[in-house]
Structure 1
């Protein structure tokens, strides 16, 4: 419509349109727009790439999301943002690409982004409440994998109902619309994938914390 009126869309316009395509499940259209803008001499920025990766992630197109992420990193002047990493990690999560997801998680953990903090505190606690849900799930999977490996190496099996991990998620007070996102995401992860190994429940003394125990 803009072009019909003689107006030329810019990078911001394309990025916003690509984002809208992603929310509407039109990942192919998002890729078409990305190609189109480059053919017209417009250079995608990190927001454009993040929006396109997110469009692929929302439609479960893991390989396309990974390809875009690699392309973005090769572009001069583009530094992947927290949103870029989060969307790519989420795409890997949906596509079962755990090794790649953990590699990306390690990159974030190296301190490249101050807004994403993964810190381990004493007594088997992990603080996730500043992380996007997709990144938080990957962190939890990584920790649980380590716990399972340690359990297999240990000659004495851990007693059942022993708390092995405390996960700080926060209460969701600062989430959009005031509804918790992170805590339900982690609880669902345990219910769907780890119910045979661990139980996860809300700490009655601290609603912003989850307690993980062995089955």
Structure 2
């Protein structure tokens, strides 16, 4: 083997290329399937960050926190988040469990949840499997298959 490398060093080039492609692919996979959080202000219409709109909490992880939003903004965020995660799930070739935080409604008028019914109805209409977290009723788990 050493003689082959000494007399034909160009044989290492494909090996090096394959290793580099594997490393890049692994990094992309980690970005797709990791649980790192990143929050910012996102304009739903343009898909760009914008300082002139209220803070929107979109996560690069598998969690979407809708606390403090009105029902219309929450639905828009949920649609965008689920679409993005569905694309990631397809790219990663597997199922994905997401967490949607709606809150329990403790700070809503009359103490009733506003966001959870909106989110549940949207998920049911879309046909996504979801469950309320039994330990925290302000959190839903969504299974993308």
Report if TM-score (shorter chain) is over 0.5: yes
Selected match of 2:135 from 188, 205, 209: 205
Kindly report the root-mean-square deviation, in angstroms, between the aligned alpha carbons of the 2 structures: 2.4
Count of residue pairs brought into register by the alignment: 103
Which of these residues, 112, 132, 137, is aligned with residue 52 of structure 2?
Answer: 112
Note closer, same or farther for the CA distance 1:144–1:210 as it changes in structure 2 (3 Å cut).
same
Tell me the secondary structure at the aligned position of residue 206 of structure 1: coil
Q: Find the structure with the greater CA-based Rg.
A: 2
Match for residue 183 of structure 1? 116
CA contact (8 A) 2:66 2:102 kept: yes
Distance 1:183 1:122, change over 3 A: same
Gaps of 5+ in 1: 1-100
Name the one with the larger helix percent.
Answer: 1
1:111/1:203 CA distance change after superposition, 3 Å: farther
How many Å apart are 1:121 and its aligned residue? 5.1
2:100 is aligned with 1:167? yes
Map 1:8-157; keep pairs closer than 5 Å.
102-103=44-45, 106=47, 110-113=50-53, 116-120=54-58, 123-154=61-92, 156=93
- Cα distance between partner residues in 2 of 1:117 and 1:124: 19
Distance 1:128 1:189 in 2: 14
Q: TM-score, normalised by structure 2?
A: 0.60
Give the SS at the match of 2:50. Answer: helix
- Describe the superposition over 1:46-89 as per-residue Cα deviations: whole angstroms up to 9, x where unpaired: xxxxxxxxxxxxxxxxxxxxxxxxxxxxxxxxxxxxxxxxxxxx
CA apart distance, 1:210: 1.1
Identify unmatched segments of 5+ residues in structure 2.
Answer: 1-42
Contact 2:89 2:144 (8 Å CA) reproduced: no
TM-score scaled to structure 1, two decimals?
0.42
**How far is the alpha carbon of 1:117 from its aligned partner?**
2.8
